[in-house]
Amino acid sequence: MYKIISGKDVSQAVKCRVADEIKALKDEGIEACLAVILVGDDPASRVYVNNKKKACEFCGIRSLEYVLPAETKQEELIELIEKLNADKSVNGILCQLPLPKHLDEKAVLNLIKPEKDVDAFHPENVGHIMIGDFNFLPCTPAGIMEMLRYENISLDGKNCVVIGRSNIVGKPMAMLMLKENATVTICHSRTQNLKEIVSGADVIVAAVGRPNFVTADMVKDGAVIIDVGINRMEDGKLCGDVDFEACKEKASYITPVPGGVGPMTIATLMQNTVTATKIQNSKE
């Protein structure tokens, strides 16, 4: 019998924990502040930014929002980030991706001060993740680890397969699993014998961006399935990278879409913001 890992429940627990930490900081006269930059009018990005704003309100984090037109020049965006870098009242800076194509995404992310980089995309923070000595973690992989801890799922000695090799999810996910003594395989578009590799996994993390990519014949009995994908179908409904209905009967634990990994990404952003605030105020 499978159990659904509810991202809503776990994220609520994380946000309540963050709210307590924020209250303790406020009692010492310290206010946490997150600045979010949105360039253009991408509807999905707008939804994400709104959800981040609501989470900040719940946790007691001051939220600043900078909405720039799609035609914003690189120099203008850089000027804003440099201003926020220099503002001591701002603890975290997040530039919502994707950016319009004429902007240099890499240059923008690299400009954010590492100690304010609450997305953990700066090369310095990525390097710390590689050696296991980090302050911040990318929000989605960190959220997944929180879900596993919440359900007391140990990765020690487990065979874990991550499908997808992005810098945002796949690569850091593998590093976090390695840190917990898992044996990790990363699969991608050039992987041969994919079905054979995935079917041997104790834990599957699907982050490939293809609807229902993981099918029941790729899942061994009792596997833990974490579905990172969010795909909108022709009928407007959301589905993940995992064929949920078919795979759930073989799983011991499985995350739904929506309501699984998605809420954890924002909850972990709140945790990163409070961590950044503590570091900048020498509380950690």
Question: What amino acid is encoded at 94 in this protein?
Answer: L
The active-site residue, picked from 15, 96, 171, 248, is: 96
Question: Does residue 270 form part of some domain?
Answer: no
Domain of residue 59, CATH code: 3.40.50.10860
Within a 10 A sphere around the Cβ of 173, how many other Cβ atoms? 28
In total, how many domains does the chain have? Answer: 2
- Contact between 66 and 37 under an 8 Å Cβ cutoff? The reply is yes
Euclidean distance between CA atoms 284 and 275, whole angstroms? 8
Residue 20 among the catalytic residues: no
DSSP state of 99: P
pLDDT, average across residues 192-217: 97
Euclidean distance between CA atoms 198 and 103, whole angstroms? 37
| Digit-coded pLDDT (tens) for 231-281 | 988 888 889 999 999 999 999 999 999 999 999 999 999 999 999 999 999
109 and 149 together in one domain: no
Domain that holds residue 91: 29-113
Question: Does residue 230 form part of some domain?
Answer: yes
Question: Does residue 134 form part of some domain?
Answer: no
Q: Where are the alpha helices (DSSP H) in 65-208?
A: 74-86, 105-111, 123-131, 139-150, 170-179, 194-198
79 and 164 together in one domain: no
pLDDT at 284: 62
35 and 88 together in one domain: yes
- Contact between 266 and 49 under an 8 Å Cβ cutoff? The reply is no
Residue 119 among the catalytic residues: yes
The active-site residue, picked from 15, 117, 119, 271, is: 119
Residue 278 among the catalytic residues: no
175 and 242 together in one domain: yes
- What percentage of the chain carries pLDDT values higher than 90? 92
The active-site residue, picked from 52, 158, 248, 278, is: 52
Domain of residue 176, CATH code: 3.40.50.720
- Contact between 251 and 233 under an 8 Å Cβ cutoff? The reply is no
Q: Please classify residue 59 by burial: count the beta carbons closer than 10 Å to its beta carbon, then call 0-12 exposed, 13-18 middle and 19+ buried.
A: buried
Question: Does residue 3 form part of some domain?
Answer: no
Q: Which two tokens stand for residue 229?
A: 């994908």
Pairing of strands 251-254, 223-227: parallel
Whether the model clears a pTM of 0.85, i.e. scores above it, the answer is yes
pLDDT at 233: 85
Q: Which two tokens stand for residue 253?
A: 């634990």
